[in-house]
Amino acid sequence: MDIIRLFEDYGIAYASEEERHYRPGWVNVPCPFCTGNPGYHLGYDTSTDHFYCWRCGHKHNDTALSKILGVSMREAKGIIRQYGGLTTTIEKVSKVKVRLKSHKLPTGCTELQSNHRKYLEKRGFDCNHLIKTWGLLGTGPLSKLDNIDFKHRIIIPIYWEGKQVSFQSRDITDKHRLRYITCPKERELIHHKHILYGKQEVWGDTGICVEGITDVWRFGVNAFATFGIEYTARQIRMIANTFKRVFVVFDDDPQAVVQADKLVQELLFRNVQAERITITGDPGGMKQDEANYLVKTLLKS
């Protein structure tokens, strides 16, 4: 589908790889499904003709364009055909690929500097503890990987089975359209949505499931993240095979609540004791003493 021409014809603001904010081949717009979450989270992959929001997951083309353009589903299907696209998308069959790029971090990674520390301290985190526990690094005004700009970010290595397999980065200026940018897919040893973020080596029978990395930092080593409210079947199997009891603590926005309830039902079906815990706001934004108390209460319950 000629998505750029479509967006330009209908006056839809978009951002593409040319701005060096996004993965090659993706065209991004604000996600109309993520209420209260600013940013160009919804991407259209020009190579596979499908929409995907990094926060709330896959969207059928007709459903996505109906929301983006403010038209009926019937009109959306007609527009899609007009611009050479598919009205529905079919899940891709996994293919074995030869890895052409090695895994590595962006250029210019160093120990956290004063600006990185101020960003974390302002949000109530203990920088030295985060560095020791999670191996955080930082970038300055010059940092790139595969022509993607990673300047002024905290670099967060992602480990699985004791090996660094990917990374995520967080903008510390709060001026970038994408607060988080993940390792380019071609450089991930394991796709981050095929694993969980956390201290795998110290997990016990009880786990606290959260959305994102900073939520794990707040709740500590008993927590793990699914990298967004949209979880995969592989992640569900990992959770069910690892934990006997799981507390799901997502944000309080309506879509996150729906996804949390769905995850609880998926886990209950797999004989995991699961429960959604209601909080106000974002787990990562909680005061540390409040988070500590909640974790202690959940583990003792």
pTM over 0.75: no
Q: What are phi and psi of 182, to 5 degrees?
A: -95, 160
- Architecture field, domain 3-82: Alpha-Beta Complex (3.90)
| pLDDT of 25 strictly over 70 | yes
In which residue ranges of the chain is CATH 3.90.580.10 found? 3-82
- Spatial CA neighbour of 215 closest among 170, 173, 162, 182: 170
CATH label, 114-193, candidates 2.30.42.10, 3.40.630.190, 3.90.980.10, 3.80.30.20: 3.90.980.10
What angle is formed at CA 68 by the lines to CA 254 and CA 56, rounded to 5 degrees? 35
Domain 200-300 is found in CATH 3.30.565.10 = no
Q: Check whether 23 has a pLDDT greater than 80.
A: no
Question: Which residues on neighbouring strands pair with residue 58, listed in sequence order?
Answer: 52
Overall average pLDDT of the 112-117 stretch:
97
Q: Give CATH 3.90.980.10 domain extents, the chain.
A: 114-193
Q: State both tokens at 19.
A: 């701005």
pLDDT tens sequence across 241-272: 999 999 999 999 998 999 999 999 999 999 99
Q: Count CA atoms within 13 Å of residue 257 on its CB side.
A: 8
pLDDT tier at 88, thresholds 50, 70, 90: low
